[in-house]
Amino acid sequence: MDTNQAAKYLSEIDELDQWSKKSVHIEVINKREAFNLAEPLWLERMYREGKLFVHPNIAKQLKNQSWIANDLQKRMIWASVIASAEGPDSKARFVDIKKKLLKKYGREWWEDVYQRKNNAWAAKSRIEKKRASNGPAVTTLINNTHLFAGAASSETIEALKMIPET
């Protein structure tokens, strides 16, 4: 697998924290480069699919930066990753993410991410509750008409604005 293929493979994994486990077959020489190439691809895809829970202005900044995040934006992205961790292994994933971030960035960085996760989680919950309450008929209208899709998008943007920009 060449570096570009590895980057594409990694960018299609929703759980950013699982990349190291899912990349054991990538050669060590190519791994860092593959991770660096995959990050912007992953960010763009997660945004496009509505799975990146950051303030709309931050998403706009990321897009203008070719999806290459700065330090503050990385903190916001990791808060989104933590907020998105669901399922029976979510507690274990949280602990794993915490260990990785503490090791790589330090306690102060981790604590900032930890504080940010609550806003990301609140926005995610609001979006999911609204989607769940729509019902099949409204969902069909949203998927097939610009008017309803625009209204749903506006509600999503309002929920994401709950997340601080700074």
Tell me the domain boundaries of the chain: 1-49, 71-166
pLDDT computed for residue 135 by the predictor: 66
Query: How far, in Å, CA of 51 to CA of 111, rounded?
Result: 23
What global pTM score does this model have? 0.85
Per-residue pLDDT tens over the stretch 35-93: 999 999 999 999 998 899 999 999 999 999 999 999 999 999 999 999 998 889 999 99
In percent, the amount of the chain with pLDDT more than 90 equals 58
Query: How far, in Å, CA of 33 to CA of 7, rounded?
Result: 8
pLDDT of residue 141 exceeding 60, the answer is no
